[in-house]
Structure 1
Amino acid sequence: MGDGKGRYRGTESRLSWENRIAQWLRRRPRDTDGPDADASRREELLLAVAEAGMPLAPAAYPVAYRCSCERIGCPIPARHPVSFAWQTQSTTDRAQILRWAQGDPQANFITATGMVHDVLDVPLEAGRRALESLLDQGIEVGPVAEAGGEGEEGRALFFTATRGTPADEDEWWPCELDCRPETMDEHPGLRWHCRGSYVLVPPARLPGDHDVHWVRGPEHPLPDPLTLLESLTDACARYAGEIEAAEDGAPEVAWPLGRR
């Protein structure tokens, strides 16, 4: 499953790569730099993810409002890996990631969860509220990304340490919130991506001029997922309650509408 680089690092090594990632994320190409600067920026962001130990694999990308996979009625356009072997293909190898990125400059990338990290995936508005609350409480929060636009389609992705890997079976425990690609619709609120799942990583493009971008970059250490879980579940419950209340209080519209 890739080469596992970045899993075990000493303190000095950790400080070095965290500082380097932070420098990469602060860079902003000038508008006059053009496509070459955009490509360089994309590669740097992908390498920053790999440097943090998160394995990557190529993913589909949007073509207008369709998916590059050309599957008719693709259920998750631009949000899935290119290869069915994405779990074994995923790697942190710098040279391989650059070959993929340069070979297909439009490709998105996914990171396979459950090996080094998990991802807690919540509705965007709930995630923003939870992030503010967590930071106000002084709780350590790791990398956080936003995917999609406002409304029901937008999601906030909280990257955490994994609960366990195949080599640590005794430390792994199942959770009713576990989410895999084929069960996404079953988890409209909180989704827990662990073994057998994946998420898109920034920078990624989505249909409708939406994207996936970092709010907090991969230079932040991965926290224990349980330190975030209560705040995220509370925020999701409040958000769901607000949606339900808004729907219940919506004024009825007579049909057919009469002309004025």
Structure 2
Amino acid sequence: MDRSDHIGKRARVAGWLRRMQREDPGAARDRRTELVLDAVRMGWPVCPAAHPLAYGCSCDRVGCPAPGMHPMSSAWQTQASTDPAHVQRWLERYPDANFVTVTGTSHDVLDVPADAGALALDRLGDEAGPVAACGPERVLFFTATRGTPVDEDEWWPCELDSHPETLDAHPGLRWHCRGSYVLLPPAQHPSGTQVRWIRGPETPLPDPLRVLDVLTDACDTVGATAADSHWLMGR
């Protein structure tokens, strides 16, 4: 990929972010019920999460390392629900809360840097499935899950598996499966933007291995381009 192509991909990512920043956060909250219940109707388990507050987090943890990006309860894995009535009560009880969807039962999420996400979207086209922009740095690709085999012994781990406590160990490609979660649109991101759908959740979930193959190539391409740019600037 030449320099002009790479600049074009970055421009598209910047365009998504400008649209997120222009949208009134109040309007996003008004749409929250519709968007969260859409995910529930798809069979995705959800639970309420903290939200950014001033320069910190709505939780009571001093110096929270992930403001607005974690569930309210430490029991989120058992708390997550696909019952619309139960989720509706959460929505009413916590009007400012973000929501997360728990991965590894009905869907997985492949999570990549924004530049790689833009490139992969071009390559995948209609095969991409649901895709969301999560803040200025990450793009989330929702896929079918590999986390619930008929024979539990057939479940296979992957070095890309991402859990909430290991996100810093995966700055590139992350695979959210069992034991992880991601923010759902229209969550408020600590960057000041909203998590937004690029391709909606009604899109069929693709095979994760097909998406993984394209994302891996995209991350390699963007990484090589970034390294080349750094070398040129250093000269």
CA distance in 1, matches of 2:229, 2:28: 41
Greater per-residue helix proportion: 2
Structure 2 residue 188 is matched with structure 1 residue 205 = yes
The answer on whether the counterparts of 1:64 and 1:207 sit within 8 Å (CA) in structure 2 is no
Structure 2 counterpart of 1:214? 197
- The DSSP-based 3-state class of the residue aligned with 2:87 is helix
The higher radius of gyration belongs to 1
**Moved segments of 4+, more than 4 Å:** 34-40
CA distance in 2, matches of 1:170, 1:142: 28
Structure 2 residue 176 is matched with structure 1 residue 193 = yes
Structure 2 residue 212 is matched with structure 1 residue 225 = no
Give the direction of change, closer, same or farther, for the CA distance of 1:120–1:245 in structure 2 (3 Å limit): same
CA distance in 1, matches of 2:25, 2:219: 39
Give the direction of change, closer, same or farther, for the CA distance of 1:38–1:146 in structure 2 (3 Å limit): closer
Structure 2 counterpart of 1:7? none
Q: How many residues align?
A: 212
Give the direction of change, closer, same or farther, for the CA distance of 1:180–1:36 in structure 2 (3 Å limit): closer
Give the direction of change, closer, same or farther, for the CA distance of 1:211–1:36 in structure 2 (3 Å limit): closer
TM-score (norm. length: structure 1): 0.76
The offset of 1:77, in angstroms, is 1.1
Structure 2 counterpart of 1:47? 37
The answer on whether the counterparts of 2:29 and 2:186 sit within 8 Å (CA) in structure 1 is no
- The DSSP-based 3-state class of the residue aligned with 1:156 is strand
- The DSSP-based 3-state class of the residue aligned with 2:204 is coil
* Between 65-74 and 217-226, the greater mean CA deviation after superposition: 65-74
Unpaired segments ≥5 residues, structure 1: 1-33, 253-260
Give the direction of change, closer, same or farther, for the CA distance of 1:35–1:131 in structure 2 (3 Å limit): closer
Structure 2 counterpart of 1:158? 141
Aligned-residue identity in percent = 58
Structure 2 counterpart of 1:147? 134
TM-score (norm. length: structure 2): 0.84
Written as runs of structure 1 = structure 2, the 5 A alignment for 1:59-74 is: 59-74=49-64
Structure 1 counterpart of 2:71? 81
> Of residues 105, 110, 127 in structure 1, which corresponds to 2:117?
127
The answer on whether the counterparts of 2:29 and 2:96 sit within 8 Å (CA) in structure 1 is no
Give the direction of change, closer, same or farther, for the CA distance of 1:37–1:183 in structure 2 (3 Å limit): closer
Question: Alpha carbon RMSD of aligned pairs, Å?
Answer: 2.0
Give CA deviations for 1:54-77 in whole Å, capped at 9, x if unaligned: 100111101122111132221111
The offset of 1:224, in angstroms, is 1.0
